[in-house]
Structure 1
Amino acid sequence: MEDQEVKQEDLNPLYVMRVSSCVLCIQHGTGDEFYEKLMEALAKDSRVKDLVRPHPARVKINHTVFPAAGLPDVQMDIADRVNPDIHFHCPEIAPPIRFQIQVPRRLQPQPLGEREVPTDEYWVEWNGITLATLWRHEGSDDPYGYSGGLSAINIVSEAAESADLDTHVLPCGPNCDYPYTHTDLVLIGGDSDGFSIIPTDHGVAFIELPSLDISPDRALSYVMREVSFLAKCYAAVRFESAAMAATESAARRHLTELLTLLSTQASSRPRLKLSYLRARWANRRWRSKGQHIITRLWLAMVAIEARRQQWNNLDFIYKSSAGEKGLEAVFRPEYSESENIVKNLDVEAVVSATEHASAHLGTKSMAFVTMVAALTSAVIAAIVTLLK
């Protein structure tokens, strides 16, 4: 759908809504009992109102996996980053967790000042992968204030921690830590008989609701029913691109280590001095160490290519879904950033330097065998992942 010129004064804005990839992380083998612990933690929070607690028989939890190498706040060894089996589990909860929160403006996060807090009342829906926050458009000096919805993320993160769980919030990009997408969804009153999003070129997109008097919680659920699948695809693409970037970054660090090692050996001249002999003894295993680094570098290169193939598959699914009903407007700036990361990944220099180092160490044949074996393993792992 092409961007359309929309004047807000010609519309009837009822609500503002923001979307965040707020992913709940659980341990492998965790049963569904975590759900009750999470709900109890939310129920005990004095800021939470009207927590919807469906009958346990109605609650369905499906487990999704994302690459752990894409986690923004976890330090990992390169051996783990290149391993396709290293992942984390995320529960997708249906029906989503729904509640209302009330937090005085002065007690909400205010990174840009209190004037950026649009309200003290929010409605929240969270399915374990995507969190959406909604508030009334009216009665605010700035209905699009920067701080709108930050309290909701804090509340679910604290509840998860109380239940011995972790949450990981994807920032909008590598150079910005804002936890929501930068497109505000403005829900306007109407009598629409079909869902569609009208994008604009100034960070706002409009959605016409099926009724003029629809309640906040119903309006939120109405939009989330349409957006949640694409939001899940978006999270998967973001984690995959982050995993690629993290693996490339780790490979470049190891390449620096390898070149430093070779440079030190090349500049070392035999001398009949005790200091020289001590240095040679300390670095006596430099060749073995170099071979070890080279093996990891080849594994990293293969892992990046395997992740690139997986990203291409996810990208196809995302774009096939995003074109419907104008949904691409929700994640447009952030998705473009993810595409840019993948397109700008260039490992040719790393491959060339690794080949040169392999030849210098006399390990080129060993590296080739390692690369072929790793490629085979990565391809098999990718096929198994696609078949799950």
Structure 2
Amino acid sequence: MGAAEIQLQPQTDEEPPSELSSDEEAAMAVPADPSIFVVRVAAAVLRLPKGSNPMFLSDEARELADSAWDAIGEALLSDPRVKSVPPRSEGARANNARTVKYSEVDDDADDILSTVNDFYGLRLNQPMRFAVHVPRKNQLKYRNIDDVPAETYDAVWDGEFLMVQWEQDSPRRANSGGHVVIEVLAQAVTAAGWGLSQIACTTGCLHRFLHADFVTFADVPDAESFEVPSYGGVGGSVVTPWGKPKDAWENLARMHHAVYNAVGLYTVGRTQADAIMFLERVARADVETLLEVAHRRATRRRFPHIIGSVVDSWNLIGAGRITRELTSELWVALVRLDTLRRAWATTDDRLRRAVNESGLGAVKAVQDIDQDAVRSVELDLLKASVQEISTRRDGRLLALVTFVGALAALSGGLVGALIGG
């Protein structure tokens, strides 16, 4: 063929025509297994009674955890909504049970010293698995949203947090998924004579789960970290770094192993942050009360305003007692705040390392323990205000003691003079 017979095709950005029909292309776009596993995580702490002592990986902790496991497992099995509770393994070699200290806030406390307290939770020696089956129409609905995704759920609970898993064929978010399992566990724990503390992301949050749905897709190659996709689909979704296994329990076990350390630290840090922010607000309110009393004392009318002086003095009855009590309580509260902030800082540091080690760096829901708010808490002004009030009160007391002492000395001198005379 001669050079004159060669015809070059013009360059174009258009794709070459497909030899497949549109239906065939659509069929090829659908994965072989469109189903996904969705896992939600809720902080659900097995609470020990007030006055319990800390225990760390001891035989005592293991025995207590195993007794709790057996009692709660029996209560679960007596619930008709529970399909199964695989028995506890007697062959666990290591002691894993331990206590974990959390902070909690009491909104109804009578004084600032009772507003924040600690309690111990108990980590089970081995996680408890159970399966729940509830018809959709009988399940709790989050904010009355009728989008319950399944009737059967698999769950794992280790005394610190609860994992709930279901399978669905669409990557559409299910707001009401899994909430019924929290109810089932809470009722079983209560029936067994134990306590359960549910710790939400913020006080009063109705969702109760972390705001992240861990989604496992089929035919996904293993990766090093969890990813937050840019597309829509399951709201707040996090893609697990492994493909969907055939066995549901295998997926749950892998999830628990991957995130348990970070989620456990998040829960502790969440309660510490809540306690710090609440105690700081109460302390500021009490300091404001002290300054108001000090202002009323400083502006109290005196002679020659006889009537006004009497009225102001009457209104200040009890002010000295209020000042003494609040000042004393505030000094203790400030020390408590400082202790909490130090503990929170340690938790935050450990959480950051756990998040990096677990490949959860993109998952904000397990990292947010109010870092900006806690670091912005400023105690210097509170301390200075309490110090000023304490100094003034001590100065008045010193003046009073000196005056009384002078009177006593004068009286003694007069009596001596009279006797001597």
TM-score category (smaller protein): 0.7 to 0.9
1:38 paired with 2:67, answer no
SS, match of residue 128 in structure 1: coil
Question: Normalising by the residue count of structure 1, what TM-score does the alignment of the two structures yield?
Answer: 0.78
Q: 1:195 to 1:164 in 2, by over 3 A?
A: farther
1:245 paired with 2:277, answer yes
Shift in Å, 1:105: 1.4
Q: 1:264 to 1:161 in 2, by over 3 A?
A: farther
1:204 paired with 2:237, answer yes
1:320 paired with 2:353, answer yes
Identify unmatched segments of 5+ residues in structure 2.
Answer: 1-28, 54-60, 399-421
User: Relative to structure 2, which stretch is displaced further, 19-28 or 337-346?
Assistant: 337-346
What are the superposed Cα offsets for residues 209-248 of structure 1, whole Å, 9 maximum, x if unpaired? 35x5421122111111111111111112112111211221
1:24 paired with 2:46, answer yes
**Mapped partners of 1:156, 1:181: distance in 2:** 17
Counterpart in 2 of 1:295? Answer: 328
Shift in Å, 1:273: 6.8
Q: 1:337 to 1:116 in 2, by over 3 A?
A: farther
The equivalent position to 1:236 in structure 2, one of 268, 275, 282, is: 268
Instruction: Indicate if the aligned counterparts of 1:358 and 1:364 stay in contact, CA closer than 8 A.
Output: no
The equivalent position to 1:95 in structure 2, one of 115, 126, 146, is: 126
Counterpart code for 2:384: S
Please provide the CA RMSD for this pair. 3.4
What are the superposed Cα offsets for residues 254-282 of structure 1, whole Å, 9 maximum, x if unpaired? 223323433444454467679958x8578
SS, match of residue 122 in structure 2: strand
Shift in Å, 1:125: 0.7
Counterpart in 1 of 2:381? Answer: 349
Shift in Å, 1:87: 2.1
Question: Normalising by the residue count of structure 2, what TM-score does the alignment of the two structures yield?
Answer: 0.72
Instruction: Indicate if the aligned counterparts of 2:105 and 2:274 stay in contact, CA closer than 8 A.
Output: yes
Counterpart in 1 of 2:246? Answer: 214
Instruction: Indicate if the aligned counterparts of 2:98 and 2:123 stay in contact, CA closer than 8 A.
Output: yes
Counterpart code for 1:249: R
Q: 1:317 to 1:71 in 2, by over 3 A?
A: same
Q: % of aligned pairs identical? A: 22
Q: 1:359 to 1:199 in 2, by over 3 A?
A: same
The equivalent position to 1:115 in structure 2, one of 146, 152, 168, is: 146
Counterpart code for 1:21: A
Counterpart in 2 of 1:386? Answer: none
In the alignment of these two chains, the number of paired residues is 350
SS, match of residue 19 in structure 1: strand
SS, match of residue 100 in structure 2: strand
SS, match of residue 156 in structure 2: strand
Counterpart code for 1:245: M
Shift in Å, 1:288: 4.0
Shift in Å, 1:153: 1.1
User: Relative to structure 2, which stretch is displaced further, 256-265 or 219-228?
Assistant: 256-265
1:163 paired with 2:185, answer no
Counterpart in 1 of 2:24? Answer: none
Q: 1:170 to 1:123 in 2, by over 3 A?
A: same
**Mapped partners of 2:149, 2:268: distance in 1:** 31
Shift in Å, 1:63: 2.7
Q: 1:67 to 1:136 in 2, by over 3 A?
A: closer
**Mapped partners of 1:229, 1:117: distance in 2:** 29
Shift in Å, 1:315: 1.3
Counterpart in 2 of 1:384? Answer: none
**Mapped partners of 2:110, 2:246: distance in 1:** 47
User: Relative to structure 2, which stretch is displaced further, 102-111 or 184-193?
Assistant: 184-193
Shift in Å, 1:114: 4.8
Q: Which has the larger radius of gyration?
A: 2
User: Relative to structure 2, which stretch is displaced further, 213-222 or 252-261?
Assistant: 252-261
The equivalent position to 1:362 in structure 2, one of 394, 399, 407, is: 394
